[in-house]
Amino acid sequence: MIGYLGIDIGSISTKGVIINEKHEILASSYLWTEGNPVKAVKEVLVELEEKIKGTDITILGVGTTGSARKLIGTMLGACSIKNEITAHAIGTLSRYPEVKTILEIGGQDSKIILLEDGIVTDYAMNTLCAAGTGSFLSSQAKRLGIDVEDFGTIALTSQHPTNIAARCTVFAESDLVHKIQMGYDKKDIVAGLCYSVASNYLNNVAKGKKISSPILFQGGVSKNIGVKKAFEELLDSNIFVDPDGHLMGALGSAILAEKNSMGRIFDFSLKDASFETMGVECKGCPNHCEVIVVKKDGKKLDAFGNRCSKGAMVK
Ligand code: SF4
């Protein structure tokens, strides 16, 4: 059976999927990046290889997306290296061809993608303020002594969500501490935080955008049913969450790998290779570009970060 591999390397999590020609997910892996995308991707490969052990799946193309897509794409000899907007849109459209709005909240960033007849018409990303992201929710859960996985269920039991200032992380955190000291019920604070994440997102990331149904909510935070409910109330609309919503970027990358495949068989033993990356200043002109050189087993694989082809010669 022919398969394609898609990898989505974010700053918080690394996701990998293997799909078949019908774009069904045959195997998936979701791990924490922990500041080391190379190690995380190697671990994802170990997991995926284990999951397809004993099958006749041959991988004929690799696609990467996410913040470390270039580095990992170079390492794995990817035939497709695309930005998150394209990958997420393609992954989501493969399951929901009618989708008009994709709300995405990940560990450290969030985005909105607007589509019309299967084409991306507008998008926005927020990588600056963490107030509306998964890492913010995790740190607040810790502060409240709650497991972040239980956040959503606890939020749903609240009848009176506490109003939490949602403008930015600093405001939200100090307001949260204030509300705890005032003696507000924990479940109401948790529900309030879910609302603050949704409203921060709508006021910042989705500001000025026309949100039309059908709306898909994805990324790690989409697993939080409290935030989903908050979006439904604030937007007065049904919000759909796919069980594989956290894998849409990887799925889109795998589909793009199929489209761009050159028929070369992917070798899982790449996970055992030793990769090295280093920043080298190009002295070719006064721009002094910081060129990232990727080496495999000591041999230069590729370089990027250069503003002209001269920089690609840096060793
Ligand atoms: S990569 Fe090109 S633009 Fe950048 S420093 Fe080298 S020569 Fe100059």
Domain segments of the chain as ranges = 2-89+250-272, 97-241, 276-313
**Residue from 250, 265, 268, 240 nearest 102 by CA:** 240
Does ligand 1 lie within 6 Å of residue 160's CB atom?
Answer: no
Look up tokens 């989501």; give the residue. 92
Rounded Cα gap, residues 84 and 266, in angstroms: 23
Pocket test for ligand 1, best of 280, 283, 285 (most atoms within 8 A of CB): 285
Superfamily classification of domain 97-241:
ATPase, nucleotide binding domain (3.30.420.40)
CA–CA–CA angle 83, 86, 92 (5° rounding) = 130
State if residue 285 touches ligand 1 by the CB under 6 angstroms criterion.
yes
State if residue 284 touches ligand 1 by the CB under 6 angstroms criterion: yes
Nearest-angstrom CA–CA distance, 28 and 44? 8
Checking if the pLDDT of 241 tops 90, the result is: yes
Beta bridge partners of 129: none
**Is the distance from the beta carbon of residue 311 to the nearest atom of ligand 1 less than 6 Å?**
yes
**Residue written as token pair 């997102």:** 201
Q: In this predicted model, which residue has the larger pLDDT, 162 or 91?
A: 91
Indicate the average pLDDT of the chain. Answer: 88
Going from the Cα of 276 to the center of ligand 1, the distance in angstroms, rounded, reads 22
Over the stretch 24-78, which tens digit does the pLDDT of each residue have?
A: 999 999 998 887 888 899 999 999 999 999 999 999 999 999 988 988 998 899 9
pLDDT tens per residue, range 172-202: 777 878 888 888 888 888 888 888 889 888 9
Task: Write out the CATH class of domain 2-89+250-272.
Answer: alpha beta
Pocket test for ligand 1, best of 310, 313, 314, 315 (most atoms within 8 A of CB): 310
